[in-house]
């Protein structure tokens, strides 16, 4: 067990709380983003927090558990199984077909973000954790880590977001 999962969890909780800034409003004063999307869900927070405990877990193509190593879809499957009790399987593209589309401006913790990293649609997936960041299991540098959504590499390859929750 890594010594810092609790610290990471507390840090994410603070980040998620900081993301609850002013509510965008239409000219008539009504909110433009539904409250349920702005606030996120307890299940989404659980997914994001659990994913953070996997930071520095080694990469392995086809890996489905932290002991053996994880690839991107294996990480998503493992996290959703452990944190939300959802059975998620298949490739990143398979997972994308299962989820409900989410606009990029509506992302909240626990949503999935998909990228075209291998010159084919939906070839990579990560879990959005809030504050314009996501966690994923990349083959490059071989360990689970957090990235910014506006990182040049990922911003150019972003395809869509999906939710498996709610």
Q: Which domains does the chain have, with CATH numbers?
A: 5-15+31-163 (3.90.1720.10)
* CA nearest to 134, candidates 117, 118, 114, 149: 149
State yes or no: is 19 an active-site residue: no
pLDDT of residue 37: 45
Over the stretch 121-140, which tens digit does the pLDDT of each residue have?
999 999 999 999 999 999 98
Cα separation, 146 vs 95, whole angstroms: 20
State yes or no: is 72 an active-site residue: yes
Q: Is the pLDDT of residue 3 over 50?
A: no
Q: Is the pLDDT of residue 4 over 80?
A: no
Cα separation, 49 vs 142, whole angstroms: 21
pLDDT range class, residue 40, cuts 50, 70, 90: confident
Q: What is the mean pLDDT of residues 28-42?
A: 54
CB 56 within 8 A of CB 144: yes
Kind plus residue range of the DSSP H or E element containing 65: strand 64-65
Q: How far apart are the first and last CA of the chain?
A: 30
Q: Is the pLDDT of residue 31 over 50?
A: no
Catalytic residue chosen out of the listed positions 37, 108, 133, 136: 136
* CA nearest to 44, candidates 106, 92, 1, 95: 106
Q: Please give the residue that has the higher pLDDT: either 42 or 3.
A: 42
Q: Is the pLDDT of residue 49 over 50?
A: yes
**136 φ/ψ angles, rounded to the nearest 5 degrees:** -155, 170
pLDDT of residue 20: 41
Question: Per the structure block, which two tokens stand in for 70?
Answer: 């994880």
pLDDT of residue 73: 98
Q: Is the pLDDT of residue 11 over 60?
A: no
State yes or no: is 105 an active-site residue: no
Catalytic residue chosen out of the listed positions 47, 72, 92, 135: 72
Cα separation, 17 vs 82, whole angstroms: 23
**pTM metric for this prediction:** 0.79
CB neighbour class for 106 (10 Å; exposed up to 12, middle 13-18, buried from 19): middle
CB 48 within 8 A of CB 126: no
Catalytic residue chosen out of the listed positions 73, 84, 117, 124: 124
* CA nearest to 162, candidates 77, 79, 100, 84: 100
- Quote the mean pLDDT of the chain: 84
């Amino acid at each position: 067990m890594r010594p810092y999962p609790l610290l990471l969890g507390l840090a994410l909780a603070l980040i998620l709380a900081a993301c609850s800034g002013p509510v965008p409003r239409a000219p008539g004063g009504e909110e433009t983003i539904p409250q349920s999307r702005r606030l996120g869900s307890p299940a989404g927070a659980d997914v994001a927090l659990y994913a953070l405990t996997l930071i520095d877990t080694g990469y392995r193509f086809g890996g489905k558990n932290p002991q053996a190593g994880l690839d991107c879809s294996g990480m998503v499957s493992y996290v959703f199984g452990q944190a939300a009790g959802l059975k998620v399987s298949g490739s990143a593209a398979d997972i994308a077909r299962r989820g409900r589309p989410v606009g990029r401006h509506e992302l909240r913790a626990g949503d999935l973000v998909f990228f075209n990293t291998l010159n084919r649609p939906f070839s990579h997936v990560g879990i959005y954790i809030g504050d314009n960041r996501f966690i994923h299991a990349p083959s490059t540098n071989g360990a689970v880590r957090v990235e910014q959504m506006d990182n040049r590499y990922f911003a150019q390859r972003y395809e869509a977001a999906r939710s498996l929750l709610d």
